[in-house]
Amino acid sequence: MKYDVIVIGAGPAGTTFARITAEKGMNVLVLDKRKELGEPVRCAEGLGRREVDIQGLILPKEVISTDIKGSRIVSPSGHELIWEDEEATGWVLERKMFDRWLAELAVEKGARIRTYTRVLDLIKENGKIKGVIASHQGEESYEIEADLVVSAEGMESIIARKAGFKTFSALSEVDTCYQYEMQPYNHRNLIELYLGNEIAKRGYVWVFPKGKNKANVGIGIGGHLTNAVKGGSLKGADPKILLDKFIKQSPELKDSSTLQDFGGVISVGAPIDEFVADNFMVIGTAARQVDPIHGGGIARSMEAARIAAGVAAEAKKKNDYSKKTLSEYEKIWRKGPGKILEKRLLFRKVLEKFSDADLDYIIKNITQEDLKDVMAGNFFRPVMKLLKGNPGLLKVLGALIS
């Protein structure tokens, strides 16, 4: 049987793409190498409400661990900035349940999903992609034909690489992360971020509220900032050591239990150079459509999937899956979300140059309104305000207003 589209990966990008294209009448097959969707969880499970609202989705109770009312950012010496408004709201998810729910929605719309099915390679005829070679449960491989293959593979993105995309991330473009689910922690429904070069080099410690009195407590640090000894033995960055140190020093967490350990590597770099080829698209984290400040990928993945699905449905109408037709997705993405992520990448690069004293000064002196502007990429007003009080910051902040 031939499909209109085969999607590789049943994470939020893949299942969102499948749901929308199936709804538009496409014949969709999603393949996922995992035995069980949503496992293993390897993220902080935060999701803002914007993209969910755009897609008209209503999250059922079982996928929500707790509501988020805002954020709290803490400087190295303990100054705090709280951002609490509609824009800062969202959820901490039960990620496993969330992925499963998105998959079920796609199936309800007519998509077909196959778990424990690894895509080994692409079928190519005279250089043209015609489908995939897959294997269920590691058994004998078989071919499945399709007009369009979509990589929603996440960070590894092996098949996208086979299709010629440069989905490889340099160490400086990733953060390596460790996280515990902890209890008890009396949270205030705020996403909490602790900044500082001592706390987490090129990164931060996060405390995300979970359930009634639990939290995902994690750390991310620059992948290039490792303890590697030149010419000697390599030693990992070991974010776990820094996280344990943070927890030991936290009066609210030091005596809490850990319920689960998680690890992860997140992209904090730029999206890949190209998202489409003839009969092929790359969406979500595979394309590094990830927020470069916090590494969050769920909302951005769903957003890219929505845009790509619209373009794929048009391609089916025209029966034309050429790069030219599919590149409409790339155009729309780069003009919209891409512009925002570019500004946020610039901000991330400035952020990592701050000394602890800079961070203390800035967090002490900016307001919720300033922070909103910064997050939206409107740097000028907040930067001028900071420079007025502390002209020495020009060296690091200059890049934002030049």
The two tokens of residue 394 are 């020009």
Return the residue matching tokens 């971020």.
193
Instruction: Compute the distance between CA of residue 187 and CA of residue 208 in angstroms, rounded to an integer.
Output: 8
Question: What are phi and psi for residue 339, nearest 5 degrees?
Answer: -65, -45
Judged by beta carbon, residue 244 or residue 352, the one nearer other proteins is: 244
Task: State the minimum distance, in angstroms, from the CB of residue 265 to other proteins.
Answer: 3
Task: State the minimum distance, in angstroms, from the CB of residue 162 to other proteins.
Answer: 8
Task: Answer yes or no: are the C-beta atoms of 4 and 105 closer than 8 Å.
Answer: no
At position 96, the amino acid (one-letter code) is K
Judged by beta carbon, residue 83 or residue 206, the one nearer other proteins is: 206
Q: Which residues does residue 179 pair with via DSSP β-bridges, in sequence order?
A: 218, 262
Judged by beta carbon, residue 174 or residue 299, the one nearer other proteins is: 174
Judged by beta carbon, residue 18 or residue 177, the one nearer other proteins is: 177
Contacts with other proteins by CB under 8 A lie at 33, 35, 40, 42, 138, 154-158, 161, 168-169, 171, 174, 176-178, 223-224, 226, 228, 233-240, 261-265
**Within 10 Å of residue 328's Cβ, how many Cβ atoms?**
17
Q: What is the DSSP letter of 54?
A: H
Task: State the minimum distance, in angstroms, from the CB of residue 225 to other proteins.
Answer: 9
Start-end of H helices in 46-142? 50-54, 95-108
Judged by beta carbon, residue 67 or residue 261, the one nearer other proteins is: 261
Task: State the minimum distance, in angstroms, from the CB of residue 122 to other proteins.
Answer: 14
Question: What are phi and psi for residue 218, nearest 5 degrees?
Answer: -140, 170
Judged by beta carbon, residue 233 or residue 402, the one nearer other proteins is: 233
Task: State the minimum distance, in angstroms, from the CB of residue 108 to other proteins.
Answer: 28
Task: State the minimum distance, in angstroms, from the CB of residue 44 to other proteins.
Answer: 13
Contacts of 127 (CB under 8 A, 6+ apart): none
Of 120, 131, 117, 152, the C-alpha closest to 13 is: 152
Task: State the minimum distance, in angstroms, from the CB of residue 237 to other proteins.
Answer: 6
Judged by beta carbon, residue 11 or residue 337, the one nearer other proteins is: 11
Task: State the minimum distance, in angstroms, from the CB of residue 229 to other proteins.
Answer: 11
Of 279, 388, 236, 305, the C-alpha closest to 21 is: 305
Of 123, 134, 135, 117, the C-alpha closest to 163 is: 123
Judged by beta carbon, residue 5 or residue 119, the one nearer other proteins is: 119
Cβ burial, residue 53 (10 Å; 0-12/13-18/19+): exposed
